[in-house]
A and B are shown apart, each in its own frame.
Chain A
């Protein structure tokens, strides 16, 4: 009697802890059917490690050029900057539509249509007015600037990024009366990496700043899937970045500019929004930031050290390109791009990513055949993955591992999810994943010869 009770209790506990893990994982998942142009569906999911979370994501459509914009924003030193960028970068992007891509010329404040965002866009009213003004001005400048207006998407994206960052920093400057806006100063003092996908018809641009990454899943003719990396992390592992930074500063600083794999010994990403501590000259920092408790970094001799110019990759989508994964570095610490695309591909096919079959000892070859047959049958029957949402599916496998079956996976998941946000930062980073599924029929049929 007692024994049965124990077993039941155990089962209940088991079920409930599994249920808890699932609920925890799925708490911030979101799925949107877009079915417009090249985009079929977008899956997102987020898992916090910081408290509050410093990762943000948002998606929008530019009505003027009919381009879709998807971005993941990985904040550091506070969530203010990433939160600010995740909503305020988009108007700049919409304001920098090239002349040849302008389908309808809306005024700069009516160009943006939000699809979704993990941050609310409500800003203090006073602040908002200033932003609108900035954007209107930028829009005017952009249209006047013949080079930019008739240039390339790459340049337009760069300009939008840089202007957005410039205005963000400007907001933090003392006003004519010498008043400092605390909120704006916090935004400027914290920082944010960003990976942004700009998809117009079948033209995909990925603008990257920092250490998040975009990976394209390409299906080979034989049915296997390969990962194509569309971004490069801007950190010390990237030799080009290191070179770029080293030559930008005098030789006397060669010992201090990059120390312990970090910029000035402090900052991990080598390009970011905000982080004016690495951009502003020392005297300005003393006036604005120091009173707010942000001392300037050591060895600050020749600012700026940090760039806001994104690296932009272009890719023309083909029918073989099935999906794009945007994720912050929290994910890439756990999984490599090849595994991620395999997971997404298997998920879309509706099959479980399985470990290879290994016969148990003592099985005869005939039994091996039967077991293989059963397995093949089972694959058809129980092929449904646990999560509907593809991004959740990735995070589940990132934290729970790919091997060892469902029980083992849950064990690890429950283990790692038990740690409360805040303390969890010691074990993992915030994770944000966006999976953009492309419309194969659109890519197959539609052919335009621009660009």
Chain B
């Protein structure tokens, strides 16, 4: 008791004098900052929270309407987990603290086919965990429940009971209070002036208005001011972040003139109108997200600048107002109220950003909430706490939200100014993997971009790189070759026939695919072999000219990445990793290089090579023709690499791995000779009816062979044991995560990746699987699909997914017995399960020595 009092006294004193040191300094007193301070303090860290104004009141949190979306909204499983963690935290707080917390629920309204399927999918994933989720398709029933709405054109409504309206300021203050009870120090009216970094770019202290705080960890949760703190030793004098402020406008007006609204009236989201309505017994809030009403703002520089409200612009809000009044005609009679324009930080992919910046050690960021700060920050704080204390998160996979997914271009202001208003307009839209933005395009392009465009390519962007998705048959010269929007969720997508033809070329003749976006690295140096042996789980010490497919595991055995390593010399390797790994893998490798003090040099050469994938049985003869070398299975077997010449061009790296399990080569052509080589291949290819193929073809090819992809199927939470890649792991050597994997082999796994062949699916009229569908065994949910595509050889929809049995593990009997189904948008389909790659018949010629990626 006395100790407690003493501590109290110390905290009280800390308001006036600055502390000398803290484990972590958190900057920002919004929901992000208080959440992370709470979680870290709870873990026993000595936290100092520094807020330039007062807790919860300045910035986006203070201006927000306090609406929390329940996890059902998100398609992505990690975000579902994050949102769930947030809700759990808030509901827990609501029971112990006193602040406005109303579980009013939310109603999503759809008036088009596309959004109807979206809702059905939402329902299908929501109802597994909560049977109170409702679908309503009867307009008169909707009208009966919500008589103030105009429901004539609404095809489907979904009621999600878990959504919450709360008081965001009070929430932040309570979080801060609890953090204080755990020992955190809270400084209000104390802006951060400078973050000091010293040797090896390690944070050693933070200068604030009240004084210097010594710390080795700084968390930048400053919302729209994130990344604006002065860090003198960095090239730009601040950490670059891929978040940019845009306006977020809503009208705050009086209560609707009707007795049928109460505090428990749900929040309404009209998906087709892209507007949101929150009515209570004393006020009405209505927000709209029309793209033209959102404008990017100047990046906030210097945390000391006062919060400047952007000027309300009724003119641009007008389209939203039109949609709002037509959805709720009664709103027209309300007083004009206030048009409130707040600022919120948006990222290029509508996902938040957390993690340790690669620009300075100990500089952590948590920003870019994309208008969903309250829904996500609670869970993100928990995850960031896990990352800071345990280096891995057990709550959710962080690949989709961590800072490592961005490269320099994402932090470019011009890029962000172009992209973020579009992202802000999508705040309440559900984005699937096929979604493509229409802004900030044509940034990174292969040297043969224009040739590919002329050949009919339709491009999709990944990491700023324009990658052909499929090729149109009769391309018009004056067309928009950039795909935007997303595939229809029901029925055949527009590219189906084209991909079928490309698929056939790759299976029976030869296809040419641009794979330049893949991340590429040169790894050289004295210790290259030992270093890579320790990082990779497979044995990479093979003879020169060998290519090894391997995973890089973290300490808990999960995949940091998968990659192919080609040994070009005694101490020289060429590594190819998934596109989205460009930054993350580099950071991981550099981190371990420093820990091991290895004499190696890792160089990112992604932009130096154009990668052309020649796929199909005829690729052997075509490669022979253009290189003049023998490409027979003895002279150049699969999983080999060699530097070759093609015509006059030299320095080309040929690797006999196609990333989709077919016979073929990927040739990595130095950019300067790429056009020459491309034309040469096209010329020589005529004889073999060479056809262009796009990335979508690769998806269909690989999924049939049960080829799991990092970032789609597997991630840091999946181990090789779970996804059938154990045969790639060499337990005879030491590597990161070995112990964890050995334990898992001994214990058996509770999660297993499977290939699902969907029966009875009509591809013309049924909703298509997208990944994220529930897998049911005998009617009970046992897993989720992770990706899906159409198997042209198998003649059915094929999904990859995992089944889980936490109590008894997944045994062969578990998979082979029982009746398996998947639920696509509320419709159930019977499935056959494969644990290994199936053997696929071929019509023509040579069958490659069959490669079975999953065993």
Contacts and interface: CB of A to CB of B under 8 A. Distances in A.
Interface string A354-384: 0011110111111111001001100000000
B315 A357 contact: yes
B331 interface: yes
B334 interface: yes
Given A365-B321, A368-B321, A369-B325, A356 B312 contact: yes
A364 B334 contact: yes
Interface in B294-344: 311-315, 318, 321-322, 324-325, 331-337
B251 interface: yes
Given A359-B336, A372-B318, A365 B253 contact: yes
B333 A364 contact: yes
Contact of B336 (A356, A364, A375, A376): A364
Contact of B335 (A364, A369, A372): A364
Given A365-B251, A365-B253, A356 B311 contact: yes
Of A361, A366, A372, A376, most B-chain CB atoms within 10 Å: A366
Contacts of A358: 312, 314
Contacts of A356: 311-315
Nearest to A373: B318
Given A356-B311, A356-B312, A356-B313, A366 B332 contact: yes
B314 A357 contact: yes
A365 B332 contact: yes
Nearest to B317: A372
A372 B314 contact: yes
A368 B334 CA distance: 10
B336 A363 contact: yes
A365 B334 CA distance: 6
Interface in A330-375: 356-359, 361-369, 372, 375
Most central of A358, A363, A365, A372 by chain B CB within 10 Å? A365
Given A365-B331, A368-B336, A359 B314 contact: yes
Nearest to A364: B333
Nearest to B286: A365
A366 B334 CA distance: 8
A369 B318 CA distance: 7
Of the listed residues B253, B311, B315, B325, the one surrounded by the most CB atoms of chain A closer than 10 A to its CB is B315
A356 B251 CA distance: 16
Nearest to B311: A356
Which of A363, A364, A368, A369 has its CB near the most chain B CB atoms (within 10 A)?
A: A368
Contacts of B324: 365
Contacts of A372: 314-315, 318, 321
A193 B315 CA distance: 43
Contacts of A375: 315
Interface in A363-420: 363-369, 372, 375-376
A372 B729 CA distance: 67
Contacts of B332: 364-366, 369
B333 A366 contact: yes
A359 B325 CA distance: 17
A132 to B, nearest CB: 52
By size class, the interface of chain B is: 10 to 19
B322 A369 contact: yes
B694 to A, nearest CB: 28
Contacts of B331: 365
A358 B314 CA distance: 7
B442 to A, nearest CB: 12
Contacts of B313: 356
A362 B311 contact: no
A357 B325 CA distance: 19
B315 A365 contact: no
Contacts of A359: 314, 336
Contacts of B253: 365
A340 to B, nearest CB: 19
A20 to B, nearest CB: 35
A372 B322 CA distance: 11
A200 B337 CA distance: 56
Contacts of A368: 314, 321, 336
Nearest to B329: A366
Contacts of A357: 314-315
A356 B334 CA distance: 22
Contacts of B336: 359, 361, 363-365, 367-368
A30 to B, nearest CB: 36
Contacts of B311: 356
Contacts of B333: 364-366
Contacts of B315: 356-357, 372, 375-376
Contacts of B314: 356-359, 368, 372
Interface in B230-280: 251, 253
Nearest to A369: B321
B253 to A, nearest CB: 7
Nearest to B333: A364
B572 to A, nearest CB: 42
A380 to B, nearest CB: 14
Contacts of A369: 318, 321-322, 325, 332
A362 B312 CA distance: 18
A362 B335 CA distance: 6
Interface string B336-373: 11000000000000000000000000000000000000
A366 B325 contact: yes
Contacts of A364: 332-336
A376 B316 CA distance: 11
A372 B320 CA distance: 13
Nearest to A224: B295
Nearest to B332: A366
A357 B315 CA distance: 7
Contacts of B318: 369, 372
A359 B312 CA distance: 11
B290 to A, nearest CB: 14
Interface string A247-285: 000000000000000000000000000000000000000
A365 B332 CA distance: 5
A367 B324 CA distance: 14
A32 B41 CA distance: 72
A168 to B, nearest CB: 46
B210 to A, nearest CB: 33
A376 B331 CA distance: 22
A265 B337 CA distance: 56
A358 B318 CA distance: 13
Contacts of B325: 365-366, 369
B312 to A, nearest CB: 7
A164 B336 CA distance: 65
A363 B322 contact: no
Nearest to A360: B336
B265 to A, nearest CB: 18
A363 B335 contact: yes
Interface in A78-113: none
A379 B673 CA distance: 55
Contacts of A361: 336
Contacts of B334: 364-365
A369 B251 CA distance: 13
A372 B325 CA distance: 14
A339 to B, nearest CB: 15
A398 B803 CA distance: 71
A278 to B, nearest CB: 40
Contacts of A362: 335
Top 4 nearest A-B pairs (CB, nearest first) are A366-B332, A359-B336, A357-B314, A363-B336
12 contacts: A356-B313, A358-B312, A358-B314, A359-B336, A365-B251, A365-B324, A365-B334, A365-B335, A366-B332, A368-B336, A369-B321, A369-B325
Interface of B: 251, 253, 311-315, 318, 321-322, 324-325, 331-337
Given A356-B313, A365-B336, A376-B315, 19 more contacts: A356-B311, A358-B312, A358-B314, A359-B314, A359-B336, A361-B336, A364-B335, A365-B253, A365-B324, A365-B325, A365-B332, A366-B325, A366-B332, A366-B333, A367-B336, A368-B321, A369-B332, A372-B318, A375-B315
